[in-house]
Amino acid sequence: MYYGVFIVMLSCLAMLAFACTEHQWKDRIINYQHIFDECTIYIICLILLCYSSFVTSEMRWLLGWVLIGICFVYVIFNTIVIIYYALCLMWLFIKRIFIQCRKRRLQREAIAIIDKLNKERLGIRPTKETPKPPPVEKEDSPESVKEEPIVVVEEPSPPKPESVIEVEEDEEASSSSFLCFEFRI
């Protein structure tokens, strides 16, 4: 039992030295929490060393209550730090959402002001909507409806070039069994 306690005590001292020199977290409260945790574990290990045959049973009973009190303070402190840190992160999250909503609202207001100034300076701008067709007058008599004939005009297609392939055989080529082609387009 004692060797395990000594190993834990040495590791606590090493971690405490590292935490005091490096400050590996950005938030100060987390660094303080880490230092407090290492000190508390070291004190608990010291109390555990006192549970030996050299101490009377009454002293063990009192040390037990001290050990329970230290563990209770240890848990309460860590719980408070965790809740505080969670509330800080929640506050930052709510603040970010509020700023984003405010930014969108201000952008909409700025666009509305720019449109208003443009309308005052340039007049009414045409909208991007498709124009509506003019209203058609409805007449009931069939004589008033004039139908225009549809004329289909065909464009003449350009003449296609005639391709001529002639094969000429030379006496020299025929003897060597090669063909010579002449292409005319």
Residue 20 has pLDDT above 60, yes or no: yes
Is residue 52 one of the residues assigned to a domain?
yes
Look at 102 and 27; give whichever has higher pLDDT. Answer: 102
Is residue 73 one of the residues assigned to a domain?
yes
Q: How many CA atoms lie within 13 A of 131 on its CB side?
A: 4
- Look up residue 15 and give its two tokens: 């971690």
Name the helix (H) or strand (E) containing 184: strand 180-184
Is residue 165 one of the residues assigned to a domain?
no
Is residue 20 one of the residues assigned to a domain?
yes
- Quote the domain boundaries for residue 76: 2-122
Is residue 137 one of the residues assigned to a domain?
no
Is residue 135 one of the residues assigned to a domain?
no
Is residue 138 one of the residues assigned to a domain?
no
When divided into structural domains, the chain yields a total of 1
Report residue 69 CA to chain centroid gap: 46
Is residue 102 one of the residues assigned to a domain?
yes
Contacts for 59 with CB less than 8 Å, ≥ 6 apart = 50
The residue-averaged pLDDT of 49-77 equals 88
**80-111 pLDDT per residue, tens:** 999 999 999 999 999 999 999 999 999 999 99
Identity of the amino acid at 41 = I
Task: Give the separation between CA 66 and CA 71, rounded to whole angstroms.
Answer: 9
Check residue 51 and give its pLDDT: 78
The residue-averaged pLDDT of 42-55 equals 83
Look at 72 and 19; give whichever has higher pLDDT. Answer: 72
Strands annotated E in 41-88? none
- Look up residue 136 and give its two tokens: 């058609």
pLDDT interval class at 175 (50, 70, 90): very low
**126-140 pLDDT per residue, tens:** 556 655 666 666 555
- For tokens 């007049």, the residue is 123
Residue 37 has pLDDT above 80, yes or no: yes
Given CA atoms 114, 115, 116, 117 in this order, what sign does their dihedral have? positive
Least confident of 5-19, 25-39, 154-168: 154-168
Percent of the chain, pLDDT > 70? 65
